[in-house]
Amino acid sequence: MTKPLGVILAGGLATRMGGGDKGRLQVGGQSLICRVIDRLSPQVAGMALNANGDPERFADLRLPVIADSIEGFAGPLAGVLAGLDWAAEQGADTIVTAAADTPFFPTDLVARLTEAGAGMAHPLVLATTPRSGDEALKSGGGKRVNRHPAFGLWPVALRDDLRAALQDGLRKVVLWTDRHQGREALFEAEPFDPFFNINTPEDLARAEALLA
């Protein structure tokens, strides 16, 4: 089976880290974004970076840089759409997305997402991890998984539907994936959640501790 293309989502505002490109932060002597590239590249047929602003600041990464086509900060779905439009130009059927600030995501991410989407006309799958008992209680007994909307398998065939939804104001990933009967791929969260992402200086310190 042909591998999907990979799209690294780096279009966030990083407000809790003081702004700037969060993926450039260093953990264990290497930037977050380079760790993500190293982790994703063996799993996909090719990669692009979704980022807004001057693309030249990422020239050292030697990846295509694709900007959001939706005005304003529309969240991860805008990055997904940019990735799908880029993939369509490459003649690809699917993409897998990964966040630029999540250095420990699974090395079998693509394989597990693809397996979960088997048999779907338009494979659409989000990564999930088990929700702890405390989290489940706080949520009022809803889903006992945490969905990770920046990590998914997305079909190029639904890009125009996604574009229309974004233009109508939709921003929440799971509202759109549920609309299309999206599936979930469950990943273990022990000894820690592999989709742990860096949002604060405290998170950065935790990542350093995990590496150590």
Burial class (CB in 10 A: 0-12, 13-18, 19+), 105: buried
CA distance 54 to 76: 19
Domain residue extents for the chain: 5-211
pLDDT in tens, 102-129: 999 999 999 999 999 999 999 999 999 9
Owner of token pair 């397996």: 115
Q: What pLDDT is attached to residue 133?
A: 55
Q: Where would I find the H helices in the chain?
A: 32-40, 76-90, 109-116, 133-138, 159-167, 173-179, 201-211
- Average pLDDT, stretch 60-78? 92
Q: Tell me the β-bridge partners of 97.
A: 7, 152
Domain 5-211: top CATH class: alpha beta
pLDDT in tens, 4-61: 999 999 976 544 444 578 999 999 999 999 999 999 999 999 999 999 999 999 999 9
The answer to whether 6 touches 96, Cβ cutoff 8 Å, is yes
pLDDT in tens, 132-191: 755 444 444 556 899 999 999 999 999 999 999 999 999 999 999 999 999 999 999 999
Q: Dihedral through CA 33, CA 108, CA 93, CA 72, nearest 10?
A: -30
pTM, full prediction: 0.91
